[in-house]
Amino acid sequence: MTLAVPEPGSLAEPVLYRVQDATRVLRMSRTVIYDLIRTGRLRTVKEGRARFIPASAINEYVALLEREAGEHE
């Protein structure tokens, strides 16, 4: 289940992703996603007992990968 805060009158992209949703967005396994969270490379937030990955954290992670790729060229 993906949570989103839609703006009135528009269809918004999800703001928060569950780990299961992030596996599809990033095309990575559940184990890899949890390793990224554990090592601090992918930021999460908690609401109650649920853990979510903000869309901004996914964008930051992709930007990190792009920077790292640029360093190795």
The amino acid occupying position 33 is I
pLDDT digits (tens, 9 = 90+) for 28-58: 999 999 999 999 999 999 999 999 999 999 9
Surface-to-core class of residue 72, CB atoms within 10 Å of its CB (0-12 exposed, 13-18 middle, 19+ buried): exposed
Asked whether the whole model's pTM tops 0.85, one would answer no
**Residue 1 contacts residue 14 (beta carbons within 8 Å):** no
For the chain, the domains span 16-71
Among 2, 63, 70, 61, CA closest to 36: 61
**Concatenated DSSP letters of 27-53:** T--HHHHHHHHHHTSS--EEETTEEEE
Query: What does the mean pLDDT of the chain come to?
Result: 88
Given a cut of 70, is residue 9 above it in pLDDT? Answer: no
